[in-house]
Structure 1
Amino acid sequence: MAAVALVQGASRGLGLEFCKHILSKKSEALIIATCRSPEKALQLKDLGERYPGKVTILKVDVTRENEIQQAAEIVKSKFGKIDLLINSSAMLLPSGKGETSLRDISFEGLVATLTTNTVGPLVMAKYFSPLLMNGSGGFGQQTADKSKQHSGIIVNMTAKVGSIGDNRLGGWYSYRMSKAALNMATRNLSIELGRGRAKVVCVSLHPGTVDTDLSRPYHKNVLKDRLFTTECSVQYLMNLIDNLSVDKTGKCFAWDGSEIPW
């Protein structure tokens, strides 16, 4: 049975690159790619044309629970399972600029950022976890011990700035809070979805500083050898995903495999 990966936020950046990588490296894998506006996702459409029959594009705005629920029903009907869920979409702030001090925060900015970065991925897990429990463990590393085998994997894309233990500079209230809360969601999910016979591995992954629209305004402060292309970052991240097991669930890892403190 073909492995099925669902990439949420697949129209650009890391999400789009995850789709490209999986299709090119895993010949039998199928991709379900979700985004807010499929009609505008030209690169995603092109990818589907290059891999006929392997890419299903669905409209999902993670701030709308009904769209997530409808997508889950479609996936259940068509595939019956998924093996990997990557929650990739994120925003810094609606303005695209992080807060440098308390005076910069706004109620609207906080709510919008938390809704997209934290609430959306958690609601995705609510509706797609039953399909992950039906998975065949097509991603990650299995063990001979059946009690430690997994059926699926949830990857929540986090950021190092979401680490409370690593926070030494402050600022970026909305983004930091949203990723810290996402990390807590990952931890909670790992406990609940690790109890049953069909175990789902849940991790938060930090992609490094990647050359995307979200981080581009801040590249001047990044060393050249630590500014990754999407291709480079996803290669590192997929290496991590390919080696995930039940023993690693509930943790937060950086692109290089090092564990990030909560």
Structure 2
Amino acid sequence: MALPVAVVQGASRGLGLQFCRHVLSHKGSAALIATCRRPEAAAELRGLAERHPGRVTLLPVDVGSEEQVRAAAREVALRAGKVDLVVNCSAVLHPSGKGETGLREVTAQGVLSTLSTNTVGALLMAKHFAPLLQKGGGGFGLQPALASKRHSGILVNISAKVGSIGDNGLGGWYSYRMSKAALNMATRNLSVELGRGRSKVVCVSLHPGTVNTDLSRPYHRNVPAAQLFSTEQSVDLMMGIIDSLNMDRTGRFYSWDGSELPW
């Protein structure tokens, strides 16, 4: 049987880089396709590839360019012929690096730029990598005995609790909240479309918790130490969820602890 293949989009730092480390250290001989805008400048990612010769492929992908996403999918098709897991990690809080506190700070450019990276990019990844996920061998998640409920691949969109409309009691952060709410809708749509037919794909959104990364660092002051995760802690928890997924759990929004979040 062909070895599992994992694709991590946004792999040069933060959660994406840690997902790469986890796959390489915990998933036997699984092959890793790691994408980011400039692989030649991603020193830590290149170091991983050097330490795991033959297992890692680095590909340039700016999710703002559909042609780059398409080209990457073609390259993976040539190299591997299928994919078992795609994790979409690329995200920005806002082009300014700070979420809006009110309407006076909202700009069209800020909203559109955030949506482009956080929502449209992940949807384009799904568009071009779905055919490869449908050819996967189900190398991640749990496979039931009933053949009609088996999945071929898993698509994971890294979302955020602040993208939950039902949980929003504070407001603010218009661009980021809207982009993650839209991403959750994309996940739900994808779960319906890719859940049909014989080659089914599990599609979920995951909330990683508050993680010590560049994206959230400006807001750590008000976060209790026990609620601030390292990238290792967050990815270990999310991979535990991914390893438990099956078609009965597709189309949902899960927090780092496995609980289901409201849309």
Q: TM-score, normalised by structure 2?
A: 0.99
AA matched with 1:184: M
Residue pairs, 1:42-191, within 5 angstroms? 42-191=43-192
Separation (CA, whole Å) in 2 of partners of 1:208 and 1:200: 25
Instruction: Note the alpha carbon deviations across 1:167-201, whole angstroms, 9 max, x for none.
Output: 00000000000000000000000000001100000
Matched, 1:218 2:216: no
Determine what percentage of the aligned residue pairs are the same residue: 65
Equivalence for 2:258 = 257
Deviation at 1:100, TM superposition (A): 0.2
Equivalence for 2:231 = 230
AA matched with 1:18: F
Deviation at 1:223, TM superposition (A): 1.0
Separation (CA, whole Å) in 2 of partners of 1:51 and 1:195: 36
Separation (CA, whole Å) in 2 of partners of 1:70 and 1:132: 16
Moved over 3 A (4+): none
AA matched with 1:55: V
AA matched with 2:80: F
Q: What secondary structure is seen at the aligned counterpart in 1 of 2:75?
A: helix
AA matched with 2:47: D
Equivalence for 1:21 = 22
Equivalence for 1:5 = 6
Q: What secondary structure is seen at the aligned counterpart in 1 of 2:189?
A: helix
Equivalence for 2:33 = 32
Q: What secondary structure is seen at the aligned counterpart in 2 of 1:235?
A: helix
Deviation at 1:158, TM superposition (A): 0.2
Equivalence for 2:199 = 198
Separation (CA, whole Å) in 2 of partners of 1:22 and 1:173: 34
AA matched with 1:216: R
Separation (CA, whole Å) in 2 of partners of 1:157 and 1:25: 20
AA matched with 2:134: M
AA matched with 2:77: K
Separation (CA, whole Å) in 1 of partners of 2:183 and 2:231: 22
Deviation at 1:111, TM superposition (A): 0.5
Instruction: Note the alpha carbon deviations across 1:122-144, whole angstroms, 9 max, x for none.
Output: 01000000000000000000000
Deviation at 1:87, TM superposition (A): 0.3
Deviation at 1:257, TM superposition (A): 0.3
Q: What secondary structure is seen at the aligned counterpart in 2 of 1:219?
A: helix
AA matched with 1:256: D
Separation (CA, whole Å) in 2 of partners of 1:196 and 1:75: 23
Deviation at 1:236, TM superposition (A): 0.2
- Aligned positions, number: 262
Separation (CA, whole Å) in 1 of partners of 2:124 and 2:191: 15
Q: Any unmatched runs of 5+ in structure 1?
A: none
Q: What secondary structure is seen at the aligned counterpart in 1 of 2:86?
A: strand
Deviation at 1:118, TM superposition (A): 0.2
Separation (CA, whole Å) in 2 of partners of 1:79 and 1:62: 21
Separation (CA, whole Å) in 1 of partners of 2:146 and 2:89: 31
Deviation at 1:26, TM superposition (A): 1.0
CA RMSD in angstroms, aligned pairs only: 0.4
Separation (CA, whole Å) in 1 of partners of 2:252 and 2:28: 29
Q: TM-score, normalised by structure 1?
A: 1.00
AA matched with 1:211: N
Instruction: Note the alpha carbon deviations across 1:214-237, whole angstroms, 9 max, x for none.
Output: 000000111110100000000000
AA matched with 1:21: H
Q: What secondary structure is seen at the aligned counterpart in 2 of 1:121?
A: helix
